[in-house]
Amino acid sequence: MPSSVRDNSVPYGLRRNLHHPARGGQCSAARAPGHCSDLCQACSDITLLLRPSAMVHHSLDTAMSITPTTTLDSMPTTPWSPTNSYPDVPMVMSGFTSRLWSHESQPQFWSKYQVWEWLQQVLDMHQIDAANIPFQNFDMDGHQLCSLSYQDFIRAAGSMGTILFHSLTELKWSAQCHAEIGQLEVKPELDFPCPFPDVSYPPGEIYDPIIHPLAPVASPTPSSPADIKRSYSRPHQVRKHNPRGTHLWEFIRDILLSPERNPGLIKWEDRTEGVFRFLKSEAVAQLWGKKKNNSSMTYEKLSRAMRYYYKREILERVDGRRLVYKFGRNARGWRESEK
């Protein structure tokens, strides 16, 4: 239908139902967040994602006082990584329990070794040369690390201090989010004041795995601190310019690779085969819309874009399963071996 004859004064969801009488009554809030007086699932999901302020303040107040249970010399029994911190289990909000956010994933409980791992992974994520960070200044465990102020980070790591502080803050935030997520009061709020003035996102902005790629997913875990230092010897790498910004499939991929920042949105169905499923389809669409500054983004539109990827073999069809997609031969960066 030519756009000239489209009735754009009527929301598409309603227009569609007008054209499609079988579709009356779907929640239009998913298509127009903030305009729904009754809570629907999508609104609730978004709220959970966008409303961390209370949790964060609580996190900052209380996290520091937690007594570490690890010693300086204790070594982790398992490598610290988002993948093994988050087993492939359903991660819907309501079912999110503390077993998915174990002590070893909380910065407060890190050993000295884990602090170094974190340093390495932040550097990997930002492709920063290790020479930029004086490791001797971070010869401490997680409890001590968490007690550092922003200024302490600046003193310890110079310009890198901001990145490190930012990363640690997010991890503490995540830890607290996950600890409290089950008790979280659900309200239809879409904006929140940024809790970290020194490292703030723009007002109302939510975590974006592309803009803020702080989740440590970049590299294999070294077997020792010595390996960590050796791995830093490579020259500083420059990110490949992506003139179009992040594509949808990359956005989806990065959510999958950073589940601790977007719990319960998308989950791997088959990690090895690249099969994944949307758990909160409208929430993902809202997140994508937020990134594209498009408040009217819906899963319906997002899924159309996803279907275009079939032709380009960035995605493959998964027949007979709703909300399930599979990375295709032209998708890059999702395999564990590619990290």
Partner DNA sequence: TACTACTTTCCTGCTT
Partner DNA sequence: AAAGCAGGAAAGTAGT
Binding site for DNA (CB under 7 A): 1-3, 6-8, 12, 15-16, 19-20, 22-27, 241, 243-245, 247-249, 281-282, 288-289, 292, 294, 296-305, 307-310, 312, 317, 319-320, 322-324
In whole angstroms, the minimum distance from the beta carbon of 129 to DNA comes to: 26
In whole angstroms, the minimum distance from the beta carbon of 336 to DNA comes to: 23
In whole angstroms, the minimum distance from the beta carbon of 305 to DNA comes to: 4
Nearer to DNA, 191 or 308 (CB): 308
Nearer to DNA, 26 or 147 (CB): 26
Alpha-helix residue ranges (DSSP H) falling in the chain: 12-19, 41-50, 53-62, 82-85, 112-126, 142-146, 150-157, 160-180, 225-231, 248-257, 281-291, 299-311
In whole angstroms, the minimum distance from the beta carbon of 258 to DNA comes to: 18
Beta bridge pairs of residue 270: 275
**What tokens does 250 get?**
């990359």
Distance CA 170, CA 56 (A): 9
Nearer to DNA, 32 or 54 (CB): 32
Distance CA 49, CA 285 (A): 13
Nearer to DNA, 57 or 312 (CB): 312
Burial letters 37-65, b for 16+ CB under 10 A, else e: eeebebbbbbbbbbbbeebbeebbeebee
Contact 330, 314 (CB under 8 A): yes
Distance CA 68, CA 86 (A): 22
Nearer to DNA, 99 or 311 (CB): 311
In whole angstroms, the minimum distance from the beta carbon of 264 to DNA comes to: 14
Nearer to DNA, 160 or 297 (CB): 297
Distance CA 125, CA 106 (A): 19
Nearer to DNA, 32 or 72 (CB): 32
In whole angstroms, the minimum distance from the beta carbon of 192 to DNA comes to: 23
In whole angstroms, the minimum distance from the beta carbon of 190 to DNA comes to: 17
Alpha-helix residue ranges (DSSP H) falling in 63-159: 82-85, 112-126, 142-146, 150-157
* Torsion angle (degrees, nearest 10) of CA 92, 94, 98, 100: -10
**What tokens does 130 get?**
């290790």
Nearer to DNA, 317 or 332 (CB): 317
3-state secondary structure of 297: coil
Nearer to DNA, 5 or 226 (CB): 5
In whole angstroms, the minimum distance from the beta carbon of 56 to DNA comes to: 28
Alpha-helix residue ranges (DSSP H) falling in 72-207: 82-85, 112-126, 142-146, 150-157, 160-180
CA distances from 124 to 50, 118, 213, 255 (A): 27, 10, 10, 18
Contact 124, 138 (CB under 8 A): no
In whole angstroms, the minimum distance from the beta carbon of 281 to DNA comes to: 5
CA distances from 69 to 109, 115, 138, 293, 303 (A): 6, 14, 19, 44, 45
